[in-house]
Amino acid sequence: APEDQVLLRRLLTEPTDYMDHPEFAERDIEQRLFGGDSKLNGFDSTRFTELGDEVTDAVDTGERLPALTTAQEQHLFKRYNYARRQVAAILAAAAGKKLTTVNARRLMAWGHRMLASRSLIVRLNMPLFLAMAKRTRLSSIDFNELVSEGNMALLRSVEKFDCGRGFKFSTYSCRAIL
């Protein structure tokens, strides 16, 4: 699919960093983070069979969620960083060699999982930065430009946030957005 080609090109050309966590070395980490082992949907699939969780299901149905608990937030960031870790591991294993079809499919499946996790985190934190943009009164800057810059700052802060330090994401991202 065209979106898979774009994703694969991006994964192969852009560096993938992740925030490591001690839990990533545990045997059942995929079970705890994703609700099961990572199995591709079919023989030629580039996506894993996904089992929903309460936060993802609520967002997908359009339900309005209260602020996430620290545990829910950490779970989302662990999912995101574990997916990034898997992408980095597949790329490291294939360094200097041709990527096999099976590894390319797994790479894209982890890439899709990584993007879905990041998208969920951003969607859940969008009201935070919109509220900050509304409170900021800079007459020389158009509101749409402010929103665009806020989006970019939010994306950067998702990439750099380390949930292992015990802080809420909003504490970290507010400073980055400002």
**How much is the pLDDT for 65?**
67
Report the Cα 122 to chain-centroid distance in Å: 8
Question: pLDDT tens for residues 97-146?
Answer: 888 888 898 999 999 999 989 988 988 888 887 888 777 766 777 888 88
Residue 48 has pLDDT above 90, yes or no: no
Cβ(39)–Cβ(49) below 8 Å: yes
Q: What is the pTM of this model?
A: 0.85
**Residue 145 burial (CB < 10 Å; 0-12/13-18/19+)?**
exposed
Question: pLDDT tens for residues 134-161?
Answer: 777 667 778 888 888 888 999 999 999 9
